[in-house]
């Protein structure tokens, strides 16, 4: 399937059966499926819909949102408050990873009985999330049930770990997840490792994938990103738009509280008095990045931070199978950012873009395990990579 053909996915055929078959020499991974269903949206070189540069992409129609949640804001908010249980996920084993001198990350690990005989999926949350975020636990449960070891990783300072590092966390610290993957491969001798991130975590995973380029160890088998904020400036501008005031306010409150806790732990680095004055003037995530992130993380200002730490410019260097899953109606990850030429020209990247889904939500009308659609598709992708390219 090239740019001149419509790309379709049958509603009746789950992604796992498609097996993510790869077509040599083509610009995009393709699904070998026959279908009589029309996709929600199709793309062609002469008539793109919602994608500015005719990027080859998959307009999937096997995701049908729960009817009351077709509004992206309702979908996003509902996913944050949805009461969930995880009966198939056993208790986790905590583990600390030292990613650089003086910095440790806490992970909650779910190991199969013989970990070295199973693939491993490392999961990274978004801004102000943690290893306890529902989408992280839900994906871990699905991965474990599919035979994966599941590692729920906290970013620096998240999940109550402010005391484990002197520094702050931000959207460019791809070196942290890189260090975790390398330790799992080199120290634990795990044979097949995947990394997947959501939102901010998605930017970090894609940035790391691009930085690896041709040098990724053979034990790293693939990457996945759900609603990645891979153009930080564009996504933050969307986030702070008036229509998104609820999300912006929530993030700002969380960032301020975390920063004040950090200052209490390390007053010699973060002067609490001056910090409290800054807190009073911060109203948006961009304000926070301009006055706090840039100041303490070595950037000139927010614009410098966004330009240097966005994963978008590195997409062309990715050399492992990679899934990017996003909703066209995401409230603050504009679909336009996925029109990058490098993304479309890279045969290792598969973009899946349902019309609905909100931000990292994708609550399906189906019940049971099929309810949270993106979590299942992510695990299916990793399983499909293993099925079609077994380790030699």
The tens place of each residue's pLDDT in the chain, 392 residues long, gives 333 222 223 232 333 323 233 332 222 333 322 222 222 232 323 233 333 333 344 444 478 999 889 999 999 999 999 999 999 999 999 999 999 999 999 999 999 999 999 999 999 999 999 999 999 999 999 999 999 999 999 999 999 999 999 999 999 999 999 999 999 999 999 999 999 999 999 999 999 999 999 999 999 999 999 999 999 999 999 999 999 999 999 999 999 999 999 999 999 999 766 787 888 899 999 999 999 999 999 999 999 999 999 999 999 999 999 999 999 999 999 999 998 767 888 999 999 999 999 999 999 999 888 899 999 999 999 999 999 876 65
Two tokens, residue 51: 């994608």
Tell me the C-alpha distance between 132 and 214, whole Å: 33
pLDDT of residue 391: 61
Q: Which CATH class is domain 67-231+310-388?
A: alpha beta
Q: Where are the alpha helices (DSSP H) in 231-328?
A: 232-239, 245-265, 272-281, 285-288, 294-297, 302-309
- The whole-number pLDDT of residue 39 equals 27
Task: Enter the tokens of residue 297.
Answer: 């993380």
Can you tell me which residue has the tokens 């975790």?
A: 180
- pLDDT at site 130: 98
Question: In the chain, where are the structural domains located?
Answer: 67-231+310-388, 237-305
Q: Reading across the β-sheet that carries 149-153, which strands appear in turn?
A: 93-100, 103-110, 149-153, 120-124, 193-198, 220-226, 322-325, 349-352
| Cα separation, 32 vs 115, whole angstroms | 32
Q: What share of the chain is helix, strand, coil (3-state, %, to 5)?
A: 40, 15, 45
Q: Cα(12)–Cα(15) distance, rounded to whole angstroms? A: 10
Pull the structure tokens for residue 307.
Answer: 């330009």
Contact 184/120 with Cβ under 8 angstroms? yes
């Amino acid at each position: 399937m090239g740019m001149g053909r419509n790309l379709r996915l049958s509603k009746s055929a789950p992604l796992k059966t498609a097996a993510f078959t790869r077509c040599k020499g083509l610009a995009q991974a393709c699904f070998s499926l026959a279908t009589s269903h029309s996709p929600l949206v199709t793309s062609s070189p002469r008539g793109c819909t919602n994608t500015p540069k005719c990027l080859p992409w998959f307009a999937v129609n096997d995701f049908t949102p729960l009817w009351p949640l077709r509004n992206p804001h309702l979908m996003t908010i509902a996913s944050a408050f949805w009461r969930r249980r995880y009966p198939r996920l056993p208790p986790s084993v905590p583990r600390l990873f030292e990613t650089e001198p003086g910095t440790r990350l806490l992970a909650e690990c779910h190991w199969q009985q013989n970990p070295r005989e199973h693939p491993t999926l490392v999961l990274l949350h978004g801004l102000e999330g943690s290893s306890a975020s529902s989408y992280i636990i839900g994906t871990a449960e699905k991965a474990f049930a599919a035979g994966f070891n599941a590692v729920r990783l906290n970013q620096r300072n998240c999940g109550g770990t402010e005391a484990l590092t002197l520094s702050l966390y931000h959207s460019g610290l791809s070196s942290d997840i890189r260090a975790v993957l390398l330790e799992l491969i080199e120290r634990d001798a795990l044979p097949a490792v995947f990394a997947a991130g959501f939102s901010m975590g998605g930017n970090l995973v894609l940035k790391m994938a691009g930085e690896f380029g041709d040098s990724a160890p053979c034990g790293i088998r693939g990457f996945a990103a759900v609603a990645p904020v891979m153009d930080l400036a564009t996504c933050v501008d969307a986030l702070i738009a008036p229509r998104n005031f609820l999300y912006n306010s929530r993030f700002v409150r969380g960032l301020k509280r975390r920063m004040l806790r950090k200052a209490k732990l390390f007053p010699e680095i973060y002067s609490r008095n001056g910090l409290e004055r800054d807190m009073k003037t911060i109203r948006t995530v961009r304000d926070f990045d301009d006055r706090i992130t840039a100041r303490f993380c070595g950037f000139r200002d927010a614009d410098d931070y966004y330009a240097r730490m966005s994963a978008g410019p590195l997409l062309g260097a990715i050399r492992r199978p990679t899934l990017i899953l996003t909703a066209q109606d995401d409230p603050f990850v504009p679909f336009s950012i996925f029109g990058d030429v490098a993304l479309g020209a890279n045969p290792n990247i598969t973009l899946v873009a349902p019309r609905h889904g909100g931000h990292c939500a994708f609550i399906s009308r189906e019940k049971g395990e099929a309810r949270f659609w993106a979590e299942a598709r992510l695990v299916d992708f990793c399983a499909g990579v293993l099925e079609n390219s077994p380790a030699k």
